[in-house]
Amino acid sequence: MPGDERSEKQAAAQQAVDILHEISTILNCHLDRRTLSICISMVENGVNPEALATVVKELRKEGQEAQVESSAAAARRR
């Protein structure tokens, strides 16, 4: 049945993401499963992996800066 086939494929894909997530944890990549899953989809859409890794590093930096700024703003309001 096509539905069964699709769910089998989905299960296999989930399993592959789980294994890749475990590898990323062993290599201390600081990636959660959701982020890794998004990145895998991007790579499967032809995005260069090194360019994507550079973008991830930049976004993390941005996220940290935004967090510091919002904490500072919250402290000023108090």
Partner 1 sequence: MAYLAQLGALADELVASLAAAALDTAEGRKRQAADRESALRGIRFHSFLGTNQFDVEDQLKGFDERFRVIGRESLADALSERLAALDPHRNKWTPDVLRFILELADQPAQKSDLRN
List of residues contacting partner 1 (CB under 8 A)? 12, 15-16, 19-20, 22-32, 34-35, 38-60, 62-63, 66, 70
CB-wise, 4 or 28, nearer to partner 1?
28
CB-wise, 6 or 60, nearer to partner 1?
60
- Distance between CA atoms of 75 and 78, rounded to whole angstroms? 5
Please report how close the Cβ of residue 69 comes to partner 1 at its closest, in angstroms.
9
Please report how close the Cβ of residue 44 comes to partner 1 at its closest, in angstroms.
5
- Distance between CA atoms of 48 and 23, rounded to whole angstroms? 20
Q: Are 17 and 33 in contact (CB under 8 A)?
A: yes
C-alpha 30: how far from its chain's center? 9
Please report how close the Cβ of residue 13 comes to partner 1 at its closest, in angstroms.
8
Q: Are 21 and 36 in contact (CB under 8 A)?
A: yes
